[in-house]
């Protein structure tokens, strides 16, 4: 297995799962208990098929009695609608009504990324998380399931160089060849974003990072949700506006007020932090767009369901497009706190980028979606 950010990632042996200090003490034993032994694994489904997105969880013989409880809590198919309320699924989600929408642009900044041309599509109703998944959200998932992220299994992840302490910088083993500000840090993971000497104690309301596409899918499935398609994500980002660069319009700092967390200054050497943040910001920060969604651009890149292609004709057609059936990389959208107009002007709704499904880094996060026909 290989991971890549730009050009390189190397295999590493799996690291032991350690309960982060931020876990509530009564939850840590769940994450580390023998019930989470993955021997004799089986897969159970909470029901059939929903637009190509299957919900499943891995269980073992010791947890057979938990199957029904899991499905009651996480069934996105409606199989248990007569016994359980769907309110928890929709908590902190925004419904976007079905209709015709414009995506893409006829004025692409990065033509090679396949930003254009502008297309007219139809989408069924869907729900989108109001905010990016936070460290607090992800901690509950880890504590309840014992899931180990791919960064933990590989034993390292990539971190932006300026966020590292001096002692770490002197022992950096590997940097990304075409982006030397990305450094491979041993033991960097979602709860140790800059390695062993860091934690998320004071960042619980910040977006979780160092999560791969596979990790994001696992979290969404745990809640009976899924990742948004690229088309859904872009429609949600635009907030009902058409032919605009950003979720609120074409001016990046309207009335002198920052509405997203990106890089200010000279990338990558000087971040003036005019928006108030050097790294991630809370998921509750910055104004909502007209759909009620926060941080659709900036802060962290967000995974989408789709496989990457620059061929518009291979992105699923004009009705509920879901991208090509297979590929090598997954689409990510929105840019991050490291994006600057001089280097990575991809904090635009039409912009797009890619990474392999097992890639992890300190600016990769996600939010979940849910089909709206319920």
pLDDT tens-digit profile of 6-59? 433 333 322 323 333 333 332 332 233 323 333 333 333 333 223 333 333 333
- Considering only CA atoms, which of 188, 185, 176 is closest in space to residue 8? 176
Tell me the mean pLDDT in the region 190-214.
97
CA-CA-CA-CA dihedral for 212, 149, 8, 308, to nearest 10: -20
Question: Is the pLDDT score of 331 beyond 80?
Answer: yes
Question: Is the pLDDT score of 339 beyond 70?
Answer: yes
44 forms beta bridges with: 57
- Separation between Cα atoms, residue 372 and residue 374, nearest integer Å: 6
Question: Is the pLDDT score of 156 beyond 50?
Answer: yes
| Tokens of residue 228, six digits | 């948004």
Stretch (H or E) spanning 19: none
The whole-number pLDDT of residue 4 equals 54
Using alpha carbons, list the distances in angstroms from residue 297 to 5, 260, 293: 20, 6, 10
Residues in the chain: 374
8 forms beta bridges with: 5
Tell me the mean pLDDT in the region 188-213.
97
- Considering only CA atoms, which of 301, 206, 297 is closest in space to residue 253? 297
Tell me the mean pLDDT in the region 286-299.
98
| pLDDT band with cut points at 50, 70 and 90 for residue 297 | very high
| Tokens of residue 293, six digits | 């969604």
| pLDDT band with cut points at 50, 70 and 90 for residue 208 | very high
Question: Is the pLDDT score of 373 beyond 70?
Answer: no
| Cβ atoms of residues 304 and 331 within 8 Å | yes
Q: Categorise residue 322: left if φ over 0, alpha if ψ from -120 to 50, beta otherwise.
A: alpha
Calculate the average pLDDT of the chain. 80
- Residue with the larger pLDDT of the pair 69 and 190: 190
Query: How many angstroms from the chain centroid is the CA of residue 142?
Result: 16
| Tokens of residue 318, six digits | 């004009």
Stretch (H or E) spanning 220: helix 213-222
Distance in angstroms between the alpha carbons of the first and the last residue of the chain: 38
| Residues above pLDDT 90, as percent of the chain | 67
pLDDT tens-digit profile of 114-144? 999 999 999 999 999 999 999 999 999 999 9
Q: What angle separates helix 135-145 from helix 213-222, to the nearest 10 degrees?
A: 70
């Amino acid at each position: 297995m290989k991971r890549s950010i730009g050009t390189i990632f190397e295999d590493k042996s799996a690291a032991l799962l350690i309960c982060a200090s931020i876990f509530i003490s009564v939850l840590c034993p769940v994450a580390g208990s023998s019930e989470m032994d993955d021997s004799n694994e089986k897969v159970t489904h909470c029901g059939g098929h929903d637009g190509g997105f299957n919900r499943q969880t891995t269980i073992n013989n010791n947890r057979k009695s938990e199957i029904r409880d899991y499905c009651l809590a996480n069934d996105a198919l409606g199989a248990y609608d007569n016994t359980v309320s769907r309110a928890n699924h929709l908590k902190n989600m925004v419904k976007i009504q079905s209709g015709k929408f414009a995506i893409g642009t006829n004025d692409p900044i990065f033509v090679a990324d396949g930003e254009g041309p502008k297309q007219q599509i139809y989408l069924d109703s869907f729900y989108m998380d109001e905010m990016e998944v936070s460290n607090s959200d992800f901690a509950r998932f880890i504590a309840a399931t014992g899931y180990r992220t791919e960064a933990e299994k590989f034993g390292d992840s990539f971190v932006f160089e300026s966020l590292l302490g001096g002692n770490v910088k002197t022992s950096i083993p590997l940097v990304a060849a075409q982006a030397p500000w990305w450094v491979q840090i041993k033991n960097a993971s979602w709860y140790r974003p800059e390695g062993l000497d860091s934690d998320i104690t004071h960042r619980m309301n910040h977006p979780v990072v160092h999560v791969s596409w596979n990790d994001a899918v696992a979290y969404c499935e745990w809640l009976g949700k899924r990742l948004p398609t690229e088309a859904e994500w872009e429609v949600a980002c635009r907030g009902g506006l058409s032919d605009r660069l950003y979720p609120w319009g074409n001016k990046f700092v309207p009335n002198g007020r920052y509405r997203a967390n990106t890089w200010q200054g000279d990338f990558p050497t000087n971040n003036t932090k005019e928006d108030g943040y050097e790294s991630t910001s809370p998921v509750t920060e910055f104004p909502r767009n007209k759909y009620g969604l926060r941080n659709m651009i900036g802060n962290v890149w967000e995974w989408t369901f789709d496989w990457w292609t620059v061929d518009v004709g291979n992105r699923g057609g004009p009705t509920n497009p879901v991208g090509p059936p297979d590929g090598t990389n997954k689409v990510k959208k929105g840019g991050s706190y490291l994006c600057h107009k001089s280097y990575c002007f991809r904090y635009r709704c039409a912009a797009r980028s890619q990474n392999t499904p097992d890639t992890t880094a300190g600016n990769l996060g996600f939010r979940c979606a849910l089909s709206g026909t319920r």
